[in-house]
Amino acid sequence: MKKQFVGSLSTLAFAAAGSLSPAIAQDYTEFGIEQDLPGTCNYAAIDAKDYSGRKLNIITHAIPVIGEPTALHAEQFAKLTGAEVNVVHVPFGDLFQRIMIPFQSGQNAYDVMFYGSLWIGDFNRFLAPVPEAYVASTGMANVTDSFKGVASWNGEMIQYPMDGDRHYLKYRTDVFDNEELKAKFLADTGRALTVPATWEEYNEVATYFSGFDWDGDGEVNFGSAEVAKRDDLMFSAFISRAAPYAKHPDVKGGFFFDLDTMEPLINTPGFVRGLELFVEAQKAFPPGGSNFGLGDEIFSFGGGQTLMSYSWDDAFVQAQQEDSRVRNKVAAAPLPGAREVWNRDTGQWDSFENPNRAPYMTWGWTSAVSAQSKEKEMAFDYLCFFSNESNTFHDLQIGRFGVNPYRTSHFDSAFWQGLGWDAAVADSYVATLSGMEDSDNRVYDLRVPGVSQFMSSMANGVAEAMAGQKTPQEALDGVAEEWRGIVDRIGEDRLREAYANLVRLEDGDT
């Protein structure tokens, strides 16, 4: 160790991690880990490096999400290697431009960047490919194929995987397993209370369980918390709702566009059906729910206000915190599906006896090294250390860090049970997440140049429909028209070449 570490790590138990491999001799417990785990970039390996007198510049998100683990592991890296590590924290709304402007002006501003993985369509030409030594590292060995795909562009890994994000359903088991409530639901609706298999069922159940105190805490409960605020990732919620109606398992060649023509598909009947149901769902939102951002959704479901939710892991982890009153009263499940799916090849709705599912691997955080960096080896060593076996198991346990499962080793129910999760909760969680890896009908975010323009346009259109200013069809017709204009400005051929990367990922051709 070459520099004094002054960080303030909390000491966490690695009950499950400790069973994965034998401890090594060196004591690194002062870093807040119970033991160093063997691996290409573990503490011992990085301790053997000497970067004294050299500097690493890193840009990342604001604390805590991703920003906190970035700073934490930077301090550790500095102490181990002697390097000076400078970390710049930036709010999400400014992060894209703070990275892009130096790229475009040829400035070597940052060696390492943490950002939203969907920006790969804009950033790819400025990133250094991940060297083979790191692609072959132990930490990379069991990164799932889907997240290796997210990190790659034209078949080459140029982003360094350190997070895995997807949308899935979360629900309260103390309601769905409650015999009295089940009997009441059956008597009132004529059907059994089951975990929603379609978005129509989701809306029905959510509406039924809105407006009364079904958990006996003295507070009125509601059916659904969703990210519906236009400027706060609402576009991801809409994609979750529209995907099973618009992503036909037998139709290849594009979800957002027809790859051959680059004609927008955003106003086709599948997307319109998804928006109609999103608008209808507002009846089951808590007061103010039509303006809920991600933080509101997290605390509404995680705090016990609502019966169901869907988005990233945060609300589920919030519900499972030690001090949560709903701890071990929740479960995870795949996103609801659709029994009718739009077939754009035939121009008809196809019926499915078993609901069509279209798992949504939503954007998630990633990291990369600038092609202009003069310290590429040190930069990749930092990223390899950031995501080493010990650090990742540590980070997964802290909800505010924003690091979620992305390796097959993370789909181990025993690990989560070691954190105090009941077996049924842990099993539902790992089965839901790992099941998404096996699907061949997945949807990803639009990863093309100008993605922010496309998503902003979509969010504006969805917001107009949610507010009743336009019908869903009128709103999405307007979005499609704007998208055609964006395609013209950026260039159809340039967009098609970029979009082909996404289509290969969705169609399983990578």
- Residue 7's pLDDT is 34
Rounded CA gap, 415 and 11, in Å?
17
Q: What's the length of the chain?
A: 510
- Residue 19's pLDDT is 35
Q: Which of 413, 436, 191 is nearest to 310 (CA)?
A: 436
pLDDT tens, residue by residue, 77-107: 999 999 999 999 999 889 999 999 999 999 9
Average pLDDT over residues 129-139: 97
> Does 432 have pLDDT greater than 90?
yes
Q: Which of 239, 197, 205, 167 is nearest to 355 (CA)?
A: 197
pLDDT tens, residue by residue, 143-200: 999 999 999 999 999 999 999 999 999 999 999 999 999 999 999 999 999 999 999 9
pLDDT tens, residue by residue, 288-309: 999 999 889 999 999 999 999 9
Average pLDDT over residues 333-359: 98
pLDDT tens, residue by residue, 361-391: 998 899 999 999 999 999 999 999 999 999 9
- Residue 139's pLDDT is 95
Q: Which long-range contacts (CB under 8 A, 24 or more apart) does 206-215 make?
A: 206/281, 206/284, 206/307, 206/308, 207/283, 207/284, 209/175, 209/284, 209/307, 210/283, 210/284, 210/285, 214/175, 214/181, 214/307, 215/172, 215/174, 215/175, 215/304
SS (H, E, C) 389-408: HHHHHHHHCCHHHCCCCCEH
pLDDT confidence tier of residue 16, bands split at 50, 70 and 90: very low
- Residue 510's pLDDT is 58
> Does 11 have pLDDT greater than 50?
no
| pLDDT, mean over the chain | 93
Cα radius of gyration rounded to whole Å, the chain: 23
- Residue 456's pLDDT is 94
Q: Give the global pTM.
A: 0.90
pLDDT confidence tier of residue 408, bands split at 50, 70 and 90: very high
Q: Which of 328, 337, 333, 339 is nearest to 419 (CA)?
A: 328
> Does 17 have pLDDT greater than 50?
no
- Residue 13's pLDDT is 30
pLDDT confidence tier of residue 509, bands split at 50, 70 and 90: low
> Does 399 have pLDDT greater than 50?
yes
pLDDT confidence tier of residue 25, bands split at 50, 70 and 90: low
> Does 60 have pLDDT greater than 80?
yes
Structure-block tokens of residue 474? 């009128």
